[in-house]
Each structure stands twice: as structure tokens, then as C-alpha cells.
Amino acid sequence: MARRMGTHDPLTPLRPAPSRPAVERTDAELVAALAGNLPWARREIWDRYSERVTRYLSRALGRPSYDVEDLTQEVFLRLFTRRGWIEKPEALREFTMAIAARVLKWNLRSRWVRRKVLLSSTGDLPEAAGDRNGDEETRDALRRCRQILEGLSARECVAFTLRFTEEMTLEEVAATMEVSLSTAKRLVGRAAAIVAESVARDEDLRQYFAERSGGGR
């Protein structure tokens, strides 16, 4: 499949995989090799965890409009540039999936804000949105929505947006996030309560939504 990253692919150094050891390395050994810039380390980590990250992202973003491959590369770019932040080398899998959750949160938050503010059924900019998107009122609503979602934890934001933007069932949310059904219910419920309370307290935002949802466009 052709890549959409253009002529410059930041992960190109992964491709040759020079002199990668044949032995199975522990996560701690991989982190040490990454910190030491050993030529095989990034490929080894990519081979071990990229499929898991792609599967996680695909479950949440499985529509054709999403570029899961690009987001997967974003996860590993962040991992490779922040290797010094891995406090527990033996927990490389958990660290990698935490980055994936943050990348997913950013993507879903942007989609939720676009859908909520611009009233698009898909989250893409509707045709007539160009003029509205430029006005001060809409920019302010976008900012306020982002602030609300920034107040959620990464897991709350992912759970909330999967449930209410991607319209997944709670069972699907749990499977996508790889958590129990009770945990998914708790995350969705807590996030929904925070969002609802935040919107209810914000008179301007509440009025903005009311004006654009009640008037027969």
C-alpha cells in the first residue's frame, strides 16, 4: 500500500534493519539499546509493538477517512524522541500504549470539536462551514470545547469520544480500549458528567449550541 507521508518519511531509518540480533530481547534491553542508539533497536521495537498499536488505533478509527498508518508512525516517532523519559524500561509496552492513547486522544478530541461546533455528521468540515469557521463566535466555541476536553484524562477523553462521536457501544469501547466493561462504563459516565456540567455552566457555549441545533438548517 502506498504511503501518504510524502517523500520524507521520518521512519525511513527503520527499514534497512541492519545487523538486528536474532535473539529475543527483553523490554529493558531494548530501551537500553534505544538509549545507546544501537542501529537495530528502533526496528526491534517497531516489529514488537507496531501491530498492537495499529490494532488499537484501527479499532477506534476504523473508517476509511482515518489514516491509521500515519498515526501509528506518530506514536513511534514520539516514543523514539522521548526515549529518555522511559522511567521503567521493563514497562516499554505500557509506555508505548500510553503514547498511543495520547495520540488517539488528540485525534478524537479534534474530531469531536469539529463535529460539535460545526454540526457535521462525520466530523469533516461541511461545505458551508467555511464562512462560519472564520467568525469570532465559532472560534470562541472551538476554544471552549477544547478546554472542556482538555479537562478530561486521556482515558476519559478516549472513552467519551468513542462512545459519543464514533457511536460505539460500551462493549465496543471496552474492547477498543482493552479494559473491562465496568471500567468502560465508569470512564464514559465520568467523562459525560464532566462535559455536561461544563457545558451547562458555560452560558455562551450553551446558547451557541442551542442556536445551531434548533433552527432547521
Give the model's pLDDT for residue 83: 66
d(CA 104, CA 83): 20
Greatest CA separation found in the chain?
A: 65
Give the model's pLDDT for residue 126: 42
Query: Which domain range does residue 81 map to?
Result: 24-212
Q: Has residue 30 been placed in a domain?
A: yes
d(CA 46, CA 23): 16
Q: Has residue 1 been placed in a domain?
A: no
Q: Has residue 75 been placed in a domain?
A: yes
Q: Has residue 11 been placed in a domain?
A: no
Q: Has residue 106 been placed in a domain?
A: yes
Q: Has residue 131 been placed in a domain?
A: yes
Give the model's pLDDT for residue 186: 95
d(CA 99, CA 132): 34
CA distances from 29 to 95, 170, 216 (A): 15, 38, 61
Give the model's pLDDT for residue 45: 94
Q: Has residue 163 been placed in a domain?
A: yes
Q: Residue-wise pLDDT tens for the chain (217 aa)?
A: 444 444 444 454 454 444 444 568 899 999 999 888 888 999 999 999 999 888 888 877 755 445 788 889 999 999 998 766 777 888 888 889 888 888 888 877 776 666 666 544 444 444 434 444 457 777 788 778 878 877 888 888 888 878 887 778 899 888 878 789 999 999 999 999 998 898 888 888 888 777 766 543 4
Q: Has residue 53 been placed in a domain?
A: yes
The count of structural domains within the chain is 1
